[in-house]
Structure 1
Amino acid sequence: MTEHKVTTLFAKRLFDGEHWLTNQQVTLKGQVIESVESAKMPSSGDVEIVDLLAPGFIDVHVNGGGGALFNHIPTLDTLARMVEVHAQFGTVAMMPTLISDDYEIMSQAHHAVCQALEHKMAGVLGMHYEGPYLNPIRKGVHNESKLRKPTEGTLSTLLDVSRSGKLMVTLAPEQVPEGFIEWLVSEGAIVCIGHSAANYEQARQAVLSGARGFTHLFNAMTPLMSREPGVVGAALQTDKPTWCGLIADGHHVHPASMRVAIAAKGCEHMLLVTDAIQSVGSDEKEMPFLGKKVRRREGKVTTEDGTLAGSDLDMATAVRNTINLIGRTPAEALQMASLRPAEFLGIEQEFGRIKPGYRASLVALSVAFFVTATWIDGKKVW
């Protein structure tokens, strides 16, 4: 019989995903939470004491970290590096994201993620293809030569991730044939709208066809206008359950725009995402990026012509910004970083709460919401 390691934590304050509690003892056994109980301050040195304990963060849009970009080196080692680096910032689970690329690179990335899932690599939930079925008009930093329409018959071989993990596909609905979104959904994909020049009706039809996410809201999509609500207008509708990713770095979206979006949509359908590239967890100021050079300065990364190239954001900073820049409560910010992405991915019975039976993937924070420790599946990794 396998013996499971037992870890005991004492939280002066605990956010269990829904409620605030004080003086809680949390016991981790193996990969799960065994118990959560009120307790007195421990005198034993075997118990780790933390100021604030919360469910670990889930990032559904992360391209790299620690000097490694998934597109550049789509390997198991890169995935391990990304998990290791982002754990410093409270991320306990991620959707490694591949920016539009050739099928050879897509295939290598697919193989690496399938390996990670097969080996049960802690912290890797699945795969996020951001493209290549995007609109050149709204390409952002994506290489236009890599964008295309889904006419190739090899696509189905890149969807195996959904058999053992989560699969996200960001696409422009106006770039794909009728029935394509329904087919992807039937194959187990979570379809997101992004890098799109669709009008409101096209975006709404995509939602009715099964799309349930909007990739980095406001960025690389048609805006909300008086007579044409665009993709943003479709994203902020609430009659269908859809979720919007927000890059809360203060550069991608103005705080006022985020406040307006949350007022319309509600925090319960907003996800904090990083869209992080390899600069996070690295000291580099200039770095290669998909055949271009990008510069890191004042919290953002841009190409030489000023185009934003992903972000230099981490999840803990996103949480602090949601509190300090957008004015949401700590509970709402923590939910947008954990419970809401868990609900979006359909894993809310495992992640997003600190309750018995849930995964022991947690983050300890200071009173100012800086990460002091991270556990992934019961193992302290930071």
Structure 2
Amino acid sequence: MMEHKMTTIFAKRLFDGENWLTNQEVTFKGQLIESIVSKADPSTDNTDIVDLLAPGFIDVHVNGGGGALFNHTPTLAALERMVAVHAQFGTVAMMPTLISDDYEIMSQAHQTVCQALKQDMPGILGMHYEGPYLNPIRKGVHNESQLRKPTEGKLAALLDVSRSGKLMVTLAPEQVPEGFIEWLVSEGAIVCIGHSAASYDQARQAVMNGARGFTHLFNAMTPLISREPGVVGAALQTDLPTWCGLIADGHHVHPAAMRVAIAAKGCEHMLLVTDAIQSVGSDEKEMPFLGKRVLRSQGKVTTEDGTLAGSDLDMATAVRNTISFIGRTPAEALQMASLRPAEFLGIDHHFGRIKPGYRASLVALTEDFIVKATWIDGQKVWGQGVV
């Protein structure tokens, strides 16, 4: 059995998920935080000294990174690559996302994630199927040939992820039969609405049936207009608990639209997500993507016809953009990257806060929110410039 050494971090400023503190010493041995103590100075010479310590980021929508796209290579090596690359940007836990694909690829991805969960692979929380039960009218970059109606027999075999980890399914409610959302929820899935041409009433009914997320708000869904509030209108309602994913890269959603959405919904039900593809952590300017060619330029990735193909965003940049573009406070931005996703997934008793008994999955940042070091389950997986 591996012996864990005690790690001590002295944070000049610490955001514990809810409050700002100064001159705090955090200790952990193994996966869990043992103590947080106010100290005038670091205790030992072996202490990591950081400007700002915060709960590590949780990305519930990430397709790839470092040259690996989960659809292309649904393997453990691809998951390890994605975790390692996104850790450089403060991500400590993720929901690897599979874009609409054939049953064989879905099955391979499912087996891989189940294996990763069985092995307790650091950083992997479960799986997110983005499709294939989507509306071709709002397909975005998804291949229309892969969009289809659900076949319960085949799908049932792909839901065991929920037995040992978290499972998200993004679907268009108008494309699935009555009772399907309730069945998915009963099987342990977190159902999200996305790539949908649903009316406001259809989207509201889906929420009443158990859906509780909206995938990349504003993108690939019916907009809010005067006489038909659409999926966006349903997403911004607050009478039922739902969460909205926001891609805060300045390309997917105009900052003014994000400001309006947060004013209506509140930060506490907004999640920062990347929707990142394999370009993040890679130098490639052109790359294959589900049978298409994708071009990377000026912070965005598009097909040759200009369709957005996921994003080139990382979580740390999303946090900075939320502060600079949208005008939210650092506390709100950090919560939208960590505590809010943890609450959405139902893991906020483990993640999203720096408290004794919580996972030692942390990010050290500069005062400008540049990542300097990342710890996942008590292990430093990336770090530079930390004493």
Q: Which residue of 2 aligns with 1:165?
A: 165
Q: Does 1:122 align with 2:114?
A: no
TM-score w.r.t. length of structure 1: 0.99
Q: Does 1:259 align with 2:259?
A: yes
Give 1:297's aligned amino acid: S
Give the deviation of 1:29 after TM superposition. 1.4
Give the deviation of 1:156 after TM superposition. 0.2
Return the alpha-carbon distance in structure 1 between the equivalents of residues 143 and 120 of structure 2. Answer: 32
Give the deviation of 1:5 after TM superposition. 2.1
Indicate the larger mover: 161-170 or 37-46: 37-46
Return the alpha-carbon distance in structure 2 between the equivalents of residues 15 and 364 of structure 1. Answer: 10
Q: Which residue of 2 aligns with 1:358?
A: 358
Give 2:264's aligned amino acid: A
Give the deviation of 1:3 after TM superposition. 3.8
Residue 344 of structure 1 aligns to a residue whose secondary structure is helix
Q: Deviations over 1:227-262 (max 9, x none)?
A: 000000000000000000000000000000000000
Q: Does 1:156 align with 2:142?
A: no
Q: Which residue of 2 aligns with 1:20?
A: 20
Give the deviation of 1:45 after TM superposition. 1.8
Return the alpha-carbon distance in structure 2 between the equivalents of residues 187 and 377 of structure 1. Answer: 28
Q: Deviations over 1:187-246 (max 9, x none)?
A: 000000000000000000000000000000000000000000000000000000000000
| Pair 309,2 (structure 1): closer, same or farther in 2 beyond 3 Å | closer
Return the alpha-carbon distance in structure 2 between the equivalents of residues 34 and 128 of structure 1. Answer: 32
Q: Which residue of 2 aligns with 1:373?
A: 373
Q: Which residue of 1 aligns with 2:344?
A: 344
Return the alpha-carbon distance in structure 2 between the equivalents of residues 206 and 328 of structure 1. Answer: 30
Q: Which residue of 2 aligns with 1:221?
A: 221
Q: Deviations over 1:123-155 (max 9, x none)?
A: 000000000000000000000000000135211
Residue 311 of structure 1 aligns to a residue whose secondary structure is coil
Q: Which residue of 2 aligns with 1:208?
A: 208
Residue 157 of structure 2 aligns to a residue whose secondary structure is helix
Give the 5 Å matches for 1:153-302.
Answer: 153-302=153-302
Give the conservation status (yes or no) of the 8 Å contact 2:9–2:27.
Answer: yes
Residue ranges of structure 2 left out of the alignment (5+ in a row): 383-387
Q: Which residue of 2 aligns with 1:308?
A: 308
| Pair 78,2 (structure 1): closer, same or farther in 2 beyond 3 Å | closer
Residue 23 of structure 2 aligns to a residue whose secondary structure is strand
| Pair 2,287 (structure 1): closer, same or farther in 2 beyond 3 Å | closer
Return the alpha-carbon distance in structure 1 between the equivalents of residues 301 and 250 of structure 2. Answer: 13
Give the 5 Å matches for 1:28-47.
Answer: 28-42=28-42, 44-47=44-47
> Cα RMSD between the aligned structures?
0.8
Give the deviation of 1:109 after TM superposition. 0.2
Q: Which residue of 2 aligns with 1:76?
A: 76
Return the alpha-carbon distance in structure 2 between the equivalents of residues 287 and 235 of structure 1. Answer: 33
Residue ranges of structure 1 left out of the alignment (5+ in a row): none
Give the conservation status (yes or no) of the 8 Å contact 2:249–2:313.
Answer: yes
Return the alpha-carbon distance in structure 1 between the equivalents of residues 344 and 151 of structure 2. Answer: 29
Q: Which residue of 1 aligns with 2:385?
A: none
Q: Which residue of 2 aligns with 1:322?
A: 322
Residue 183 of structure 1 aligns to a residue whose secondary structure is helix
Q: Which residue of 2 aligns with 1:8?
A: 8
Residue 357 of structure 1 aligns to a residue whose secondary structure is coil
Count of matched residue pairs: 382
Give the deviation of 1:2 after TM superposition. 6.3
**Off by >4 Å, runs of 4+ in structure 1:** none
Return the alpha-carbon distance in structure 2 between the equivalents of residues 297 and 169 of structure 1. Answer: 30
Residue 52 of structure 1 aligns to a residue whose secondary structure is strand
Q: Which residue of 2 aligns with 1:58?
A: 58
Return the alpha-carbon distance in structure 2 between the equivalents of residues 94 and 338 of structure 1. Answer: 11
Give the conservation status (yes or no) of the 8 Å contact 2:91–2:315.
Answer: yes
Give 1:254's aligned amino acid: H
Return the alpha-carbon distance in structure 1 between the equivalents of residues 9 and 90 of structure 2. Answer: 16
Give 2:314's aligned amino acid: D
Give 1:261's aligned amino acid: A
Give 1:170's aligned amino acid: T
Q: Does 1:95 align with 2:98?
A: no
Give 1:226's aligned amino acid: S
Return the alpha-carbon distance in structure 2 between the equivalents of residues 139 and 338 of structure 1. Answer: 29
| Pair 47,165 (structure 1): closer, same or farther in 2 beyond 3 Å | same
| Pair 43,345 (structure 1): closer, same or farther in 2 beyond 3 Å | closer
